Each structure stands twice: as structure tokens, then as C-alpha cells.
Amino acid sequence: MKKTTATDPAVTRNWRPATQAVRAGTHRSEHGETSEALYLTSGFTYDSAEEVAARFAGEASGMQYSRFRNPTVEMLQHRIAAMEGAEACLVQASGMAAMTSSLLAMLSAGDHVVAGRAAFGSCRWILDNVLNRFGITHTAIDGTDNAAWEAAIRPETKAFFFETPANPTMDLVDLEFVCGLARSKGITTVVDNAFATPVLQRPMDFGADVVAYSATKLMDGQGRVMAGAVCASRQWIEEVLSPFQRNTGPIAAPFNAWVVLKGLETLPLRAPAQSASALTVARHLEEKGLRVLHPGLPSHPQHELCQRQMSAAGPIFAFFAPGGQSQAMALCNALELIDISNNIGDSKSLMCHPASTTHYNMGAEGRAEAGIEDGMLRLNVGLEDVEDLIDDLDRALGTVGI
């Protein structure tokens, strides 16, 4: 392999994660640019009519149209697949495009899905409001309960769909058990790994079939663009997802793919650093007597599972204002450094009140079922100095009488 390109999976698969994050997928043009090139083009030209005919017939490789393939997008797909340890990856316009495409591409009327009920609001919405209109039913269960997965299986169950850690309760799913159960029954597991990224957790190492991402979060990591990604076997990507995606069009913009490519270069540095700061802040809040949900703390009921399947617990955790919603909102308002924002994975620390924002749509009953209390706050810990974050929180907590 020439140093100008790093597109041979047989080579990039064997690199260590930090090298993959910086170099896997890089395909240099004849100019030999150091940074990945941004191909802002919708179409491509050909030297002959025969050449384009061969590409459309699938007899020659090469670009045809950016809804199908784009060189910048392909560099990102290769890089994410290498980091995930997956055979193949396709990127999409957003995390929700990735989740929706994965499910719609493989399910048909009459199929059944078992889903973890602690989930991102829009993931629940797809199950409740899109799939059910096409005769695809689901059972939402407590994903932390291994026996509940087994009990919910029906003859027509085609997929398990869950996130771990889950947003915002930080519930974990036992990847080895649940993926193994699915394998033994011929059920496809779709894992939303947005909170962890391949740097902190690789679900395929535990038997997951499909790993889907919001690349908007930690992968970009600097709050700039929307993007999504789906990793799976080459066969699943080529036979199931690719035809669906090419014809329905939830594809990523080349510019957004380029931004995520550059974001991935620093992911192996950012994810552990933000995870370490988040654990420090969580421990501090717990020591002050607050109730905290962080799987890296021994107080979390699934702490041992976290240690088994994650290298660190990530930048996000939840805690509770004892005075409920008004005190939680007052605490947000009293922060001077940490921003109020519903985004996560950013290098800036961000605080969110899930019950009135990200999980408002679920309704009070849905929130109660998912464990989202009115006093709950979700904190994304960024790359600022952790002592400044603790100072800001301590001052704000004092202001609201905690």
C-alpha cells in the first residue's frame, strides 16, 4: 500500500485505535494533500459513454452520483468501520436518519421489535409513530433486565433495538447476554452507541450485528454538524441498507462528513479526557449528598457491568435536584460557565433538563415509565478545566439552596 492512501481494510484493521482515528480511510488525490480533501460535488464526469455504462451496470467501480457514493463520505465510512472493527459502514445525514434507515431497511409488515424503553425520545417516536403504521409492532421493556429480553421474544421478532448507556437515565444493557440471546434466536441486534463511540465501547466485540450512531455527538465532538453512521457486516450493508439508502436518500453532506473526519482524529484523546472529568464532577456531586446516576460510580447498580463492557463511562451523566423541576431549572439558570443546551458530546459543558426538553414529547406517563423525574438534570462534561466546572456548579448549587 502506498502512503498516499489508507483504504485497504486488511491494513487499517490492524492499526491501533489512535492511528485509525487519524489515518484510516484517507484517500489522497494526485496533489498529495495532507488533510482529507473535501469533494463538494453532486455529480461526476466520465471519459467515455462506455465507462459510465460500465459503472451503472456494476462492471466498473467509481463514482456516479453523490446520493450513491462520494469520496469524502467514503473516507469517513472507512474510518468509522476501522475504529468499530466492522466490515462496512454507511454514513447518513443525522443520527435519526441512521436509526430510521436501519430499522426500515430490514423490517416488514408483521415483524416485531423488542426495544429498551429507556431511549432517546425520537427513537421511541419511530417505534410508536412510524413502524406501527406499517404493521411492525414492538414491545418496550426494561433493558437492564436480561430476563425481560427473553420473555418478550415472539416467533415474529426480527430485531432488538436499544442504546447503552441510555439517554438520560444511564441505564446499561448487558451486551454479551442480550447480543448472545439474539444470535441464538436469529434476531438482529441494532445498538445505538452514540453515548460511547467505538473508543469507549465496541458492541460488535460482544456480538452486536448493527451499530448505529449519531455522529453529531462525540464523533464530531465540537457541536458543529449533524451526521449519523451505521456499521454492520459487508453483506448486511450491501444487501439490506445500501439499496434502501441509495433510493431513499438520507445521505450525509460531504462537508458534514469532512467535519466528522477531522473530529474523529481527536476522539481517542477527547473521549477518555471528558469521561475522566465527568467522573470527577459526578463524584463531587455525590459527595455533596446529591443523587447521581453515573455508571462509573460504585453507587450505580450496573457499575460492574460498566467495567466489563466500557473502557470509560463517557462524558454524560444525570443527577437530581431534590426540590424538583423548579429547583432544577433555577440551577440551570444560575450557571455562569456551563451552558444550557440539549446537545451532548460537545467539548463545551452543557446542562439540560430532560423532562421539559428532550423527553417532553413522551408525556408524563412515558417519562415516569422511563425513570425521567422532574428534578432530573443531564450534564455533558466538556474539555474545560474540571476545577472551573466544579466551581461553577458549587456556586450555582449554593444559589438555589442545595
Given the rule CB under 6 A, which residues bind ligand PLP?
94-96, 120, 122-123, 163, 167, 192, 194-195, 214, 216-217, 226, 228, 344
- Of residues 123 and 396, the one with the C-beta less far from ligand PLP: 123
| Least distance between ligand PLP and beta carbon 388 (Å) | 25
As a dihedral over the C-alpha atoms of residue 9, residue 10, residue 16, residue 22, rounded to 10 degrees, the angle is: -30
360 touches 295 (CB < 8 A): no
CB of 215 to ligand PLP, least distance (A): 7
Burial tier of 91 (Cβ tally within 10 Å: 0-12, 13-18, 19+): buried
What are the Cα distances from residue 85, in Å, to 61, 145, 205, 207, 393? 24, 27, 8, 12, 38
**What is the Cα Rg of the chain in Å?**
22
Q: Which is closer to ligand PLP, CB of 208 or CB of 402? A: 208
344 or 376: CB nearest ligand PLP: 344
Tell me the pairing of strands 88-92 and 137-141.
unpaired
Q: Which is nearer to ligand PLP, 106 or 196 (CB)?
A: 196
| Residue 4 CB contacts under 8 Å (≥ 6 apart), including other chains | 28, 32
Rounded least distance, CB 130 to ligand PLP, Å: 14
CA distances from 395 to 312, 383, 390 (A): 28, 20, 8
Nearer Cβ to ligand PLP, position 194 or 393? 194
Strand partners, 339: 350
Smallest gap, in angstroms, from Cβ of residue 166 to ligand PLP? 7
Smallest gap from residue 88 Cβ to ligand PLP (A): 20
Which position's Cβ is nearest ligand PLP?
Answer: 95
DSSP, collapsed to helix, strand or coil, labels residue 319 as: strand
Ramachandran category for residue 15: left, alpha or beta (phi over 0 → left; psi -120 to 50 → alpha): beta
Q: Closer to ligand PLP at the Cβ: 99 or 396?
A: 99
CA–CA separation, 72 vs 212, rounded Å?
A: 20
Question: Maximum distance among all alpha carbons in the chain?
Answer: 75
> Least distance in Å: CB of 163 to ligand PLP?
5
Report, in Å, the least distance between residue 267 CB and ligand PLP. Answer: 16
By beta-carbon proximity to ligand PLP, the closer residue of 316 and 396 is 316
